[in-house]
Amino acid sequence: MAKVKMKTKSAAKKRFRKVGKNKLKRSKAYRRHLLTKKSSKRKRDLRKGAYISKADLKMVKKLLPY
């Protein structure tokens, strides 16, 4: 009998990228709208990527099996 492949969650696939062996990269929140009241410095910092915290890593890895 053939082994059934797990499906990757589409939402997670769009939000996270694997970097190296045990790291996942994400984009920062609060960058979509209401940008006029935010300072240039704050918006510039939000452009940069960030890594998933250690606490959330196990859960997010389940969503991205491959």
pTM of the model: 0.76
Looking at residue 8, its pLDDT comes to 94
pLDDT-based confidence at residue 2 (cuts at 50, 70, 90): confident
Looking at residue 10, its pLDDT comes to 95
Span 6-64, pLDDT tens digits? 999 999 999 999 998 889 999 999 999 999 999 999 999 999 999 999 999 999 999 99
* Phi and psi, residue 50, nearest 5°: -145, 170
> DSSP per residue over 14-57, as a string?
HH-EEETTTEEEEE-SS-SS--TTS-HHHHHHHHSEEE--HHHH
Residue 1 has pLDDT above 80, yes or no: no
CATH level 2 (architecture), domain 10-63? Irregular (4.10)
Residue matched to tokens 């492949």:
5
